[in-house]
Structure 1
Amino acid sequence: MSKHISNILLIYTGGTIGMIKNPKTGALMAFDFDKLQKNIPELRLLEHKISTISFEEPIDSSNMNIRYYQKITKMIEDNYEDFDGFVVLHGSDTMSYSSSVISFMLENLSKPIIFTGSQLPIGDLRTDAKENLITSIQLAGLKENGKSVITEVGLYFEYKLYRANRTTKLNAEHFEAFDSYNYPPLAESGVHLNINYPYLKKVNRRKKLLVHQDLSDQILVLKIFPGIGKEVLAHILDTSHIKAIILETFGSGNANTEDWFIHLLKKAIKEGKYVVNVTQCIGGSVNMGHYETSQDLKKIGVISGKDITTEAAVAKLMYLLPKDLSPKVFKTIFETSLRGEMK
């Protein structure tokens, strides 16, 4: 096999990209990925060798959970040595969450895992599915000197490849559904595939892949709003089985400065819960202590999410909570970039 030809494994989990319309009824039905090249003849023009694997029962991405994350990761682990790259076909609604989680589950990754999907079914006349799928395969198969160019989990949608754990879905109507406000695209597809080499993740290819299957779902995301009630917050923070709370705060990490608000958060932290501060803004970073309205949060031990997305914060907590870490070490590790998810 030529050093430019790659073995690519397509993993279909579900989602719009895997649907086609019944020409008689107009109803959407699941696409048979065993007949992929028959339905998408353009794939024959690609130089790469493509294999497919699918969930026995494809799911809507709204139903994605830890069990399915483990399933995707197991599929990749079981086939890791036999393939040069992987393309995960996934519903767009929760793709940023899933791809972020997978990025943490796979340590020392040295091969591309590209998540993609579509806004319209693959059989639709105006579909975006074909371009997203074809370019994702090209990116997953891209090699230089016989080695993969992309060595991380990416998300490709509408002509741009992003670092997956930097993305957020912003639009349910347009083909440009995703963006990454705090990190540039890794690649852009135009007349040529333009790779943004300085922003690609650098890896030590000699290190063996480590797969982390233990995840925790004992996480709460709480969006702070002006006028949030004391009793409501007290009730939420008192939930015994929650181990971590992601606070979506204002601007650069600002929140209520009233005594009761700070006291409730301090009490939760003393009880062993982790509180992570992320910004509600699509772009920008938490900078606790920069304004008076965040100084108290810093003093009581709230963890800074810096410029992490809420999706990646959820993923990182899922990954870190099962590990036996002291609160101090946990805070230090969370505030450190592990997979390129933050500055």
Structure 2
Amino acid sequence: MKIAVINTGGTLSCVGDPLAPMSAKDFAQACEKHLDPLLRQKFADIQVSYLTGVPFSASKNQTLDSTDLQPTAWCLMAQALLTHYADFDGFVLLQGTDTLDFTGGALPFLLAGFDSTGEITAALTKPVVITGSMLPMFYQEEGKGELALNFNTDAFQNLCGALAAASLGIPEVSVYFHHHLYRSSRVVKTHTSDVNAFSSPNYPPLAKYAADWSLYTEGWLPAPLRASTSLDDPKQRAEQLKRVTQLHADLDLFPVMLLNAFPAPYSASQGKALLADLVDAMVQAGARGIVLQSYGAGNFPSGNPDAPTEGAVYQAFLRARAQGVYLVNSTRVPAGAVKMETYAAGAWLRLAGVISVGDMTPMTAMAKLMILMALAKQQAWTPEEVERLMQTSLCGELG
């Protein structure tokens, strides 16, 4: 089985003090010298190749700490995957953990074709596994300046696990971390430094690895029924690459911002609220969409507890909607779903034009909304169609 490894940066491929990303070429050379002999012993049936031609021009060495990742980087990753799709049986994408859940939210929509009704026109038939680590794969030997393998680290374990997960052939984008394989659009980073840094609160794992694999096939996305609706079809693959290339040019035109609910000052009598000022500032800064990270089941301060539709935040949302800004409600709570009608403190949001995305993570909601708005420009979709697609599970991102 031929598996391509694409290194975008992150702790796994960092060296030095302080840690900084190696170039993709330097990392590939270090792997070929120190890691590949072990991989050949461990995975006799896997042939590993390193794709080094995915440059991130914002960085001199053309890889990035994921803190510096931009939305257009998602498109660069998808372009590389689509360009080499026919050459390999699976892919492992290395990324820093800080924004891994954003990348995991974006890639499924960049590697699938769908129309305005949500019908899938081109689907993955091969695995794409994202992984990273809390510790680097290599270190510089003291006094020698040469690289050596950090064997007993989560970097080695996660890369090996990701390669093994790719060999399972599950046809979707997933995340392998600390013995678990998750649907990528469902993961959240839940620890800053522990090796068990990611979880999937609203969707069970696709597989677990201990001495052997435990496969939970009932949770996998189905493979496309026909070759004509898969990325195996050269025509569909070319069309998807064309879409993603255009998305790379357009995505920055559709910025989406996250707005976390927090106890903020307001005055119902004066019609003022700090959160309203933040909404106005976001729109003035160019936001085309705002994803709310509400309290609990979807509650958000209106600026007037007794009459929410008279509150400053409600009025700010109306102003945003009048300028064509999409308003999406997710929850800041890791597990559970938005149900805005449960409390009066959330029911007013629908009157302001806010839509719910249920149990979708805020990171996935942000990425999906950006991509849908850019696709709407390509496909001439209406705002109503964009909102309907936001609330439709296209790649298993929504329960």
The answer, yes or no, to whether TM exceeds 0.5 is yes
- The answer for the alignment partner of 1:77 in structure 2 is 82
Q: Does 1:39 align with 2:34?
A: yes
Q: Is residue 104–residue 187 contact of structure 2 (8 Å, CA) maintained in 1? A: no
Which has the higher mean CA deviation after the structures are superposed, 326-335 or 168-177?
Answer: 326-335
Which has the higher mean CA deviation after the structures are superposed, 7-16 or 240-249?
Answer: 240-249
Which has the higher mean CA deviation after the structures are superposed, 35-44 or 11-20?
Answer: 35-44
Q: Is residue 280–residue 320 contact of structure 2 (8 Å, CA) maintained in 1? A: no
Q: Does 1:58 align with 2:63?
A: yes
Task: Give the SS at the match of 1:297.
Answer: helix
Q: Is residue 37–residue 43 contact of structure 1 (8 Å, CA) maintained in 2? A: no
Letter in 1 for 2:319: K
Q: Is residue 111–residue 124 contact of structure 2 (8 Å, CA) maintained in 1? A: yes
Match of 1:290 among 342, 345, 356: 342
How far the C-alpha of 1:339 sits from its partner, in A, is: 1.1
How far the C-alpha of 1:271 sits from its partner, in A, is: 2.2
Q: How far apart, in 2, do the equivalents of 1:228 and 1:220 lie?
A: 21
Quickly say closer, same or farther: Cα 1:16–1:48, change in 2 above 3 A. Answer: same
Q: Does 1:94 align with 2:99?
A: yes
Q: Does 1:136 align with 2:136?
A: no
- The answer for the alignment partner of 2:263 in structure 1 is 226
Task: Give the SS at the match of 2:3.
Answer: strand
- The answer for the alignment partner of 1:159 in structure 2 is 179
Task: Give the SS at the match of 2:84.
Answer: helix
Q: Is residue 328–residue 354 contact of structure 2 (8 Å, CA) maintained in 1? A: yes
Task: Give the SS at the match of 1:131.
Answer: helix
C-alpha deviations, 1:200-236, integer Å up to 9, x for none?
1113152133344213441111112122552523532
Quickly say closer, same or farther: Cα 1:33–1:225, change in 2 above 3 A. Answer: same
Q: Is residue 20–residue 65 contact of structure 2 (8 Å, CA) maintained in 1? A: no
Quickly say closer, same or farther: Cα 1:52–1:237, change in 2 above 3 A. Answer: closer
Q: Does 1:191 align with 2:208?
A: no
Q: How far apart, in 2, do the equivalents of 1:219 and 1:266 lie?
A: 17
How far the C-alpha of 1:68 sits from its partner, in A, is: 2.0
Letter in 1 for 2:397: E
C-alpha deviations, 1:75-99, integer Å up to 9, x for none?
1111101111000011111111112
- The answer for the alignment partner of 2:234 in structure 1 is none
Alignment of 1:1-343 (within 5 A): 6-20=1-15, 30=22, 31-40=26-35, 41-45=37-41, 46=43, 47-54=45-52, 55-56=54-55, 57-107=62-112, 108-123=123-138, 124=150, 126-142=152-168, 148=169, 150-204=170-224, 206=227, 207-209=229-231, 210-211=240-241, 212-213=243-244, 214=247, 215-216=251-252, 217-229=254-266, 230=273, 232-233=277-278, 235-239=280-284, 241-257=286-302, 258=304, 259=310, 260-322=312-374, 323=376, 324-343=380-399
- The answer for the alignment partner of 2:270 in structure 1 is none
Q: How far apart, in 2, do the equivalents of 1:203 and 1:158 lie?
A: 26
Q: How far apart, in 1, do the equivalents of 2:386 and 2:63 lie?
A: 36
C-alpha deviations, 1:56-107, integer Å up to 9, x for none?
5221111111332222111111110111100001111111111221111010
Task: Give the SS at the match of 1:88.
Answer: strand
Quickly say closer, same or farther: Cα 1:110–1:281, change in 2 above 3 A. Answer: same
Q: Is residue 205–residue 216 contact of structure 2 (8 Å, CA) maintained in 1? A: yes
How far the C-alpha of 1:49 sits from its partner, in A, is: 1.0
More helix by share: 2
Q: Is residue 91–residue 118 contact of structure 1 (8 Å, CA) maintained in 2? A: yes
Q: How far apart, in 2, do the equivalents of 1:28 and 1:204 lie?
A: 40
How far the C-alpha of 1:29 sits from its partner, in A, is: 7.0
Q: How far apart, in 2, do the equivalents of 1:326 and 1:69 lie?
A: 24
Q: Is residue 247–residue 275 contact of structure 1 (8 Å, CA) maintained in 2? A: yes
How far the C-alpha of 1:240 sits from its partner, in A, is: 5.9
- The answer for the alignment partner of 2:146 in structure 1 is none
Which has the higher mean CA deviation after the structures are superposed, 197-206 or 162-171?
Answer: 197-206
Q: How far apart, in 2, do the equivalents of 1:132 and 1:197 lie?
A: 21
Percent identity between matched residues is 30
Q: How far apart, in 2, do the equivalents of 1:28 and 1:238 lie?
A: 35
Q: How far apart, in 2, do the equivalents of 1:104 and 1:29 lie?
A: 27
Letter in 2 for 1:121: P
C-alpha deviations, 1:131-175, integer Å up to 9, x for none?
111111111122xxxxx3x11100111100110110111112210
Which has the higher mean CA deviation after the structures are superposed, 255-264 or 31-40?
Answer: 31-40
Which has the higher mean CA deviation after the structures are superposed, 31-40 or 167-176?
Answer: 31-40
Q: Is residue 257–residue 282 contact of structure 2 (8 Å, CA) maintained in 1? A: no
TM-score normalized with structure 1 length = 0.90
Q: How far apart, in 1, do the equivalents of 2:125 and 2:346 lie?
A: 39
Quickly say closer, same or farther: Cα 1:50–1:273, change in 2 above 3 A. Answer: same
Task: Give the SS at the match of 1:321.
Answer: helix
Unaligned runs of 5+ in 2: 56-61, 113-122, 139-149, 232-239, 267-272, 305-309
Which has the higher mean CA deviation after the structures are superposed, 235-244 or 183-192?
Answer: 235-244
